[in-house]
Structure 1
Amino acid sequence: MTFSHLASRLDNIAPFHVMELAKMAAALEQQGRHIIHMGIGEPDFTAAPLVIEAAAKAMADGKMQYTSATGLPALRAAISGHYKQVYGLDIAPGRIVVTAGASAALLLACAALVEKGSEVLMPDPSYPCNRHFVAAFDGRAKMIASGPAERFQLSDQMVREHWGEDTRGVLLASPSNPTGTSILHGELGKIIATVRAKGGFSIVDEIYQGLSYDEAPFSALSLGDDIIVINSFSKYFNMTGWRLGWLVLPEQLVAPIEKLAQNLFICPSSIAQHAALACFEADSLALYEERKNEFKRRRDYLVPALVELGFKVPVIPDGAFYVYADCSALSDDADRLVKDILNQVGVSMVSGLDFGPHTAQTYIRLSYATSMDNLQEAVRRLGQFFNKK
């Protein structure tokens, strides 16, 4: 059977080059090469022991049926308690919707808010799937070039200058993938106030918020009850493949999102939800903080090492586990550079190609979600590569 006609919206969905590089790296590994993976943003840590035990117990106890589309009440309450403990915020459990990963959360938010022709502002560079979620509902992501002066984020001035007749809102990420940079609290407050005054929506992706290193963590939820926040168990809680995340919503959006979730997903994984309850145990939280400190140690090693190699790191990442490095002094083609490095010395990284045209040719993203031994070996190999040139 052949398909002669595909939905035109597919024309607005670009290939995910990060995954293509991962396939290239896997092919080299199959040939017997040792590859150091600094491409995909996945913690090298696995789920905490208590989480694994809770998953096994849930299966042994037969807790594998559908849950409510909005998630287990106990898990929604636990997430609410986490906001109180970490951020000092009183978030009603009823405003929290558990989702099948942050991707499902973004999909649901865009399904509820984006219409044909809607324009959503986001920075260039930003996580590529964010613009594709908008495109999936026939909206249009307006990518606004952002550089080191703005921490690769949107500023309030940018939002004011680029807000147009079809603009419906902003989609932000703090800390961000690919840059690891956060929007400063005062600037984020200005952006949200501007969007609010224009009657628009503010979606803030906070999946890396737990991995903030240099300042006291804060959530955009502290800036008002009308903000939509995305979060996930993948990064800080080290549960990538479990596919579990959540939304915090204004009260009036809970029922519409629940209706969508019922139809599109039925519910998130019941086993993952029962397991995630153990994330909030004291022993688990202590372990996550130890791992967070290890990520910070890796960052503090990698950034100066890259500078020594000839890269520029104009903004020190304050969160997540990425360094966004300017390679323009070393190459005029970032995509070709990362492929040459992979093939010649076996270090897998990604160019700025996925993240928007503004930095596509001049920046590479490196993930330090791998061991310190691997990072040190990667730096040694990069030195070997550049000394050969």
Structure 2
Amino acid sequence: MRIARRSQVPPFAVMEVLAAANARAVAGESVISLCAGQPASGAPSAVRAAAMGLLADGDLGYTEAIGTPALRAALARHYGRWYDVDLDPARVVVTTGSSGAFLLAFLAAFEPGDRVALARPGYPAYRNILTSLGVDVVDLDCGPATGFRPTTAQLAAAHDDAPLAGLVLASPANPTGTMVTGAELDAVVGWCADHGVRLVSDEIYHGITYGDAGRGATAAGRADEGAVVVSSFSKYWGMTGWRLGWLVLPPDLVPPVDALAGNLALCPPALAQHAALAAFTEESYAEADERVRGYAAARDLLLRRVPALGWSVAPPDGAFYLYADVGTDDSVGWCARLLAETGVALTPGTDFDPVDGARWVRLSFAAGEAAVDEALDRIAAWQG
């Protein structure tokens, strides 16, 4: 029996590294896992308490396919709080993680054979989901020369080669942590609107930002009502395993996404939806902001110590990653040796950049300042 060609996509290498690190830890070895983008502290206290109450005495049956009205309304109010955007809850769709959001958005917005542009380096699941759907991925080479951000000049050049149907833009980006400013986002939104290109704005790391970046610039409420926004409870609120994300859609995409969602998953996880209402309390916002201050301390420590390692790094404006050129031409082997000889788990850059990633690695500092400090001690000793 045959296996469909659409399934022939690479595995997400970070999960393989994580499995190897976990196996070493189970065997009793001292492991510092800085490979996965997972907040160490988990969901806010109020969310966990709400979930326990729901498990004891709550309605955990099916919800609406695109999420409960209460959660969609709370998300709309969140956009007013963070961005001063008056968002209609009817445009909000709750999804099974941001992964489910990308799948629904890509299915609704793009046809097989469409050309969709991505920044390289970038999150590998964009490429792999699009490829599995028969969409042609167009790389935009976004290295140090562009500040690791795509430019409208790059978009214009790619569009001149053959028309683009879409652009996926992440800010803060994975693996680099780089961000676009509000003015830069306006330029991209305007270019996409002028050329009939659907913008998909990945904003899952909003709220985890440093310096004067604010919460991050959102595509919601900007001039182009055709843009799609993807976000998640996983990062800022630390709710990774709860598998809860959302879309902000233009009105024309809501009905097809609603139909797709009902057929593909029936509804997002009911327990997570009901408990997530507690994420919008003052207590939960304060708890999440305190965690972001912890990420900032770990980031500052990294930026102080990295020069002594001789690494060249992307500027981590947000998220909790450091993307570093470590001076190798085999980042997969480099990371494997590092784990075997020091117990420090990092992710090879080939996961994010199939062209130049052999020189780069990604370090997640979501584990906190103490873990990062110890890992850097081990790496410095290992590098000699």
Q: Same fold (TM over 0.5)?
A: yes
In structure 2, what is the equivalent of residue 176 of structure 1? 173
8 Å CA contact 1:143–1:356 kept in 2: the answer is no
In structure 2, what is the equivalent of residue 143 of structure 1? 139
Aligned-residue offset at 1:281: 0.5
Q: SS of the counterpart of 1:131? A: helix
Distance in 1 of aligned mates of 2:76 and 2:20: 42
Unmatched runs of 5 consecutive residues or more in structure 2: none
1:219 matched to 2:215? The reply is no
8 Å CA contact 2:294–2:368 kept in 1: the answer is no
Distance in 1 of aligned mates of 2:154 and 2:144: 14
Distance in 1 of aligned mates of 2:184 and 2:284: 33
Counterpart residue type for residue 298 of structure 2: R
Which residue of the other structure, out of 84, 88, 93, is the alignment partner of 1:97? 93
8 Å CA contact 1:105–1:230 kept in 2: the answer is yes
In structure 2, what is the equivalent of residue 337 of structure 1? 334
Q: CA RMSD in A?
A: 1.2
Which TM-score applies when normalising by structure 2? 0.96
Distance in 2 of aligned mates of 1:157 and 1:222: 24
1:200 matched to 2:197? The reply is yes
In structure 1, what is the equivalent of residue 315 of structure 2? 316
1:122 matched to 2:141? The reply is no
After TM superposition, what 4+ stretches of structure 1 lie above 4 angstroms from structure 2?
none
8 Å CA contact 1:151–1:183 kept in 2: the answer is no
In structure 2, what is the equivalent of residue 238 of structure 1? 238
Aligned-residue offset at 1:124: 0.7
Distance in 2 of aligned mates of 1:383 and 1:355: 24
Distance in 2 of aligned mates of 1:35 and 1:120: 39
Q: SS of the counterpart of 1:230? A: strand
1:189 matched to 2:186? The reply is yes
1:26-37 alignment, distance < 5 Å: 26-37=22-33
Aligned-residue offset at 1:340: 1.0
8 Å CA contact 1:100–1:268 kept in 2: the answer is yes
1:264 matched to 2:264? The reply is yes
Distance in 2 of aligned mates of 1:93 and 1:132: 30
Q: Tell me which moved more, 356-365 or 41-50.
A: 356-365
Distance in 1 of aligned mates of 2:218 and 2:197: 19
1:295 matched to 2:295? The reply is yes
Identity fraction in percent: 39
1:49-68 alignment, distance < 5 Å: 49-68=45-64
Aligned-residue offset at 1:60: 2.1
8 Å CA contact 2:207–2:214 kept in 1: the answer is no
Counterpart residue type for residue 374 of structure 1: A
Q: SS of the counterpart of 1:361? A: helix
- 1:205-234 CA-to-partner distances (Å, cap 9, x unmatched) read 100011111222321214232210000000
8 Å CA contact 2:47–2:275 kept in 1: the answer is yes
Distance in 2 of aligned mates of 1:110 and 1:166: 17
Distance in 1 of aligned mates of 2:12 and 2:287: 33
1:368 matched to 2:365? The reply is yes
Q: Tell me which moved more, 38-47 or 163-172.
A: 163-172
1:9 matched to 2:6? The reply is yes
Aligned-residue offset at 1:166: 4.7
8 Å CA contact 1:121–1:142 kept in 2: the answer is yes
In structure 1, what is the equivalent of residue 325 of structure 2? 326
Counterpart residue type for residue 221 of structure 1: A
8 Å CA contact 1:261–1:267 kept in 2: the answer is yes
Distance in 2 of aligned mates of 1:376 and 1:169: 41
Distance in 1 of aligned mates of 2:354 and 2:371: 30
Unmatched runs of 5 consecutive residues or more in structure 1: none
8 Å CA contact 2:177–2:319 kept in 1: the answer is yes
8 Å CA contact 2:349–2:358 kept in 1: the answer is yes
